[in-house]
Amino acid sequence: MFFASDNWAGAHPAINERLSRESTRFAAAYGTSDLDKAVEARFNEIFGREVSVYFVSTGTAANSLSLASVARVGGVVFSHSEAHVIEDECGAPDFFSNMRMVPVDGENGKMDPANLASGIAGFPQDSLHHGRAAAVTLTQATESGTIYTLDEIETLSTIAKANGLPVHMDGARFANALVALGTTPAEMTWKRGVDILSFGGTKNGCWCAEAIVFFNPELAKDFAFIRKRAAQLFSKTRFISAQFEAYLQDDLWLVMARHANTMADRLRAGIRSLNSTRLAWDTTSNEVFAVLNKASAEAAQARGAKFYDWPAPHAMPEPVKDDEMLIRLVTSFATTEEDIDQFLSICKAG
């Protein structure tokens, strides 16, 4: 019953096998091997256009260096007020980009378009003392477990483009959002105005594999130097490429994400059926937010269930009572039906 995070899950056997096979051979270093080049070409196929791809080790590195690539002196970056980049990355995006994050409110973990427009208007390009608008970053799927629709992505991108701002997408759970929407990588990114993507693999069955994807290679002209200076150019980059090769082969990445989402659907349905537990709000990804009475939560933890209690968001639909606890439950490619059913059984008994 490991629901603390999809980061807690191991690596898929196919990815482990590919890493093991790679460890027995020699290959050119620093991203110049035939494997590196083949996987970069695979990203072109996935997104249906020529892209520039750079591998890094963590999602925080992917987000921070993506924003560093579009940095402006005195720049500010707009994100949802509860997004990972502003809440959970220890100021790394600010540090590496030398810009500051400006929060934009919106319900369900998604930036409100009107709030974004007014936020950008507050930082005109000649705003010497307050700073100037430089970029917009959105999280897909969001930290609240919700997902931007294609139209919502396009609306935010249109506002950004009208102000000359590039759009970055934090896709740590990109695959989960993609299969939930039933769309294509191209439709969820560059066709809707996204310029740069942090493409996550670690939360979805990889060991340590993240990619920064530029949909306009011209934007990446200085990025090799940015990555090197940030100590994210690995000498044995092929071990990240090997993970992505297995991850993308035969749509394994989509199979794993679909399984995680299905397990979350099962969890959501079970919680709705219980009297002592309720969903805190509706989600459509592999994150589930529930309100349990404290006795049920403690009983589940005593039986080995792992989850995090969660701070109530600004727009919490229904307040959490003193004898209740708001928790986050995250499913993964390794979650089983038995895990879900055992957890629900404990909650029902509580």
pLDDT in tens, 124-141: 999 899 999 999 999 999
DSSP string, 236-281: TTHHHHHHHHHHHGGGHHHHHHHHHHHHHHHHHHHHHT-SSEEESS
Is the pLDDT score of 275 beyond 90?
no
Can you name the residues that pair with 293 across neighbouring β-strands?
324
Average pLDDT, integer, range 226-237 = 97
Residue % of the chain over a pLDDT of 70: 100
In this prediction, residues 221-245 reach a mean pLDDT of 97
Integer Cα distance of 129 and 26 in angstroms: 54
Task: Count CB neighbours of 140 within 10 A.
Answer: 26
Residue 262: name the closest of 341, 346, 336 by CA: 336
Q: In what order do the strands lie in the sheet with 308-309?
A: 277-279, 287-293, 324-330, 308-309
Range of weakest confidence among 85-94, 145-154, 271-280: 271-280
Interval 267-281 mean pLDDT = 93
pLDDT score recorded for residue 313: 86
Average pLDDT over residues 246-253: 98
Question: What mean pLDDT do residues 250-257 have?
Answer: 98
Range with the poorest average pLDDT among 79-83, 164-168, 250-254, 295-299: 295-299
Q: What gap in Å lies between CA 55 and CA 31, rounded to an integer? A: 9
Residue 246 above 80 pLDDT? yes
Is the pLDDT at 108 greater than 90? The verdict is yes
Query: Closest Cα to residue 89, out of 73, 66, 105?
Result: 66
The lowest-confidence range among 144-148, 213-217, 265-269, 272-276 is: 272-276
Q: How confident is the model at residue 332 (pLDDT cuts 50, 70, 90)?
A: very high
What residue spans of the chain are helical by DSSP H? Answer: 13-22, 34-47, 59-68, 84-87, 92-97, 113-121, 150-162, 174-181, 223-229, 238-248, 252-272, 294-302, 337-349
The token pair at 62 is 């992917």
Q: Which amino acid is at 93?
A: P
How confident is the model at residue 263, as a pLDDT? 98
Which residues have a Cβ under 8 Å from the Cβ of 298 and sit 6 or more positions away? none
Q: Is the pLDDT of residue 293 over 80?
A: yes
Q: What is the CA radius of gyration of the chain?
A: 20
The residue to which tokens 């693999």 are assigned: 201
Residue 259 corresponds to which tokens in the numbers above?
């399984």
Amino acid at 127: S
Mean pLDDT, the chain, integer? 96
Mean pLDDT of 178-187: 98
CB count within 10 Å of CB 273 equals 10
Residue 349, pLDDT > 80, answer: no
Task: Give the model's pLDDT for residue 350.
Answer: 62
pLDDT given for residue 173 in this prediction: 98
What's the chain's length in residues? 350
Work out the average pLDDT over 179-203. Answer: 98
**pLDDT at residue 237 in the model:** 96
Mean pLDDT score, 223-230: 98
Residue with the two structure tokens 């403690």: 298
CA distance 157 to 162: 8
Mean pLDDT over residues 33-38, rounded? 97
The pLDDT assigned to 20 comes to 97
Note the pLDDT of residue 276: 81
Q: Percent of the chain having pLDDT more than 90?
A: 92
Please give the pLDDT value at position 317. Answer: 79
Residue 136's region, left for phi above 0, alpha for psi from -120 to 50, else beta, is beta
Q: Quick one: tokens of 268?
A: 């959501």
Mean pLDDT of 93-97: 97
**Mean pLDDT, residues 77-94:** 96
Please state, in angstroms and rounded to a whole number, the distance separating the CA atoms of residues 284 and 152.
Answer: 15
